[in-house]
Structure 1
Amino acid sequence: MPSFRSRILAASTLAAVLTVPVGAPASGETVGCDATIGGVDLGCLADNLFVFTNGSGDANWQASSKGYVGDVAVSGAAKFRTSGHFAYSGTISTDGDTIGKWHDIVADNEGQASSAIADSAVSGLSIQLDNAITQAASLPATPGFESVDAADLAGLNTQNGSPDVVVINVTDKMTVKDQLVITGDETDAFVIRWDEDADAANGFQGKVKFQSGGAIIPAGGLTPGNFVHVAGDISSSGGGDTPAGLPQGPRSAAGDLIEGGEDFDGGGFFTGYWLTTGKPGDGKTSSLSNAIFVGGWYTSSTKFSLTSGSSGVHVAPPVTTTTTTTTIHYTL
């Protein structure tokens, strides 16, 4: 198999043409709660830190944690479970008539947390998630990025003053413990598909794991909101340092730590908007220890567990109103 460098050199004379919906910029144009990033319509998903459209096997959100900032939407069919106390600022919404044990999370954070019961808008998020995953899976891979290792993302630079969309298939070495710096313009978008065989028809194979301070680091004009990921199972573990260039803790819009929150202390950092299905077959997600979400996590997983230092900060999509390009040419 050719080396990554040779594939890039071979692709340097090619241009990938990607057509996105009319009026949708390369990164994110937010109208109401409609965010389209790289041709992937996230709808109202990106208004939230977490969206859990299933959780019927287990929906465990527990201490310990440095804290979470952002709204959470969860199916009323979820099997709610929690223990311990941790800082949370936001609103937990469900289309059911209760959030079960998760009421304890709201009660422990009086003045900065609330709940919304029987919210019909939550039901629509399941369809939006399915559609977004389908759209992301259908995009053609950018030449040179049809099959790469996670480490190959380090040093990618698309900063050229034009809106670019880069679609990447990560098919090998999905455990990340290094800081992968990606540089681009504020109107660029990156759609990263984590799948060992690059064939979404049989589900997203393999387990994505961030650990020991590993992360994708946006640079140039990029923020976490320029990245959309699709994957099956995800995992994490602690260690390392908190990367510069990412939020350092669960802070309010004013920059202050939320009540009871603490700055992050390493872990595995999930940068951007993560759309996941759980492991193909049973839909389960591995237990997440010291997972730090910087952007959002939206999943149809039947079983998940946020525990042991996991934390998160919602990042809104970038708002760009001047880009009207409908066909984007990207040349490596």
Structure 2
Amino acid sequence: MTSRNSNGIGNCWDNDIPPQLLFKKSEPFLNENYDAVPTKNFEKTPSTLSHNNSVSCDDLKGVGSLSGTCILNSSLHLVNDLLILGTGSIEVAPHVLITCPIKGCLISFNISGNAKIALGGPPPAQTSGTPSLYDGAGGGHGGRGASCLKSNRTNWGGDVYAWSTLSDPWSYGSKGGSTSSEKQYGGDGGGRILLIVKDTLHVDGFITAEGGQGGLDGGGGSGGSIMVHAFKLNGNGTISAAGGSGWGGGGGGRISLECYSIQDVKITVHGGQSFGCPENAGAAGTAYDKLLSSLKVSNDYFTTHTETPLLDFPTTILWSNVYVECNAKALVPLLWSRVQVRGQIRLLDGGSICFGLSKYGVSEF
């Protein structure tokens, strides 16, 4: 995950705690076993986390500095609020945890560079959306990957999967295809991100689970999965599970938002650009608003002939609205598919829906 100029809220530390981290110097921060010690008379004021309370990279037992790059290699166990303020970047190494079990504990990152968090290690080598041929097609996930093969039949790269869990997506993206049977040139699939914030998530940078680049010898990887649960989501930044570019562009991933207020943040799940057929980018993924029960399929004006299949629509609790926009091409492929929502199905700015397959063009609308 990458974030610029962001204020994060989270939950976490080591020994020899600097006094500026404590509300009362007499209160212990950690015990001798590096476990959090509960604090008493815990009170906060608006000025508690000021610039004077900010810690250094050394205070965090990290390597480097917050004016350059600070790398955290050890887990942090907090018993009080923490402010990390700097003009550089911070990187949290794999398997490093930042935890604070105290109710109301606040951890703020306010940095001008990048916040890189390595969570779960490498994704699986291959997922179900990886193309099987050697034509450099893009990987699929929320949308199909693009194929640049020239033929009279409908072509696409990797196919979609995890449709039934689009409201709570938690699948990796898929690797793009290669142009060689001896070496894998395809871009990697996007990762998985889950953000749970009690109050406000402010994003002025980038939170990405995008597919990797495939170059001229491989397809782009498909976007991964992002879930955001927050009371408010705002800022001028971007949350993206877009497909990666390659010979054939990767399909977009899946994003789900559960937020009572969303302002200004750009949400994108577009397919990746195709170097081998520029007019045919990867297909758009899915962006789902969980509170509104609303689905959006947008390709951000990237031209494509590759479709985003919309499979079984819910029939017990109907979706409110479905938007297909910005050159996205949706496909309802199942025989006798029923497309029903409480509100509107809107096609905007070049968006389209195709019903049925070429041999079985029957759907109920």
TM-score band w.r.t. shorter chain? 0.3 to 0.5
Larger Rg: 2
TM-score, normalised by the number of residues in structure 2: 0.34
Query: Which structure is richer in relative contact order (CA contacts within 8 A, separation 6 or more)?
Result: 1
TM-score, normalised by the number of residues in structure 1: 0.36
Higher strand share: 1
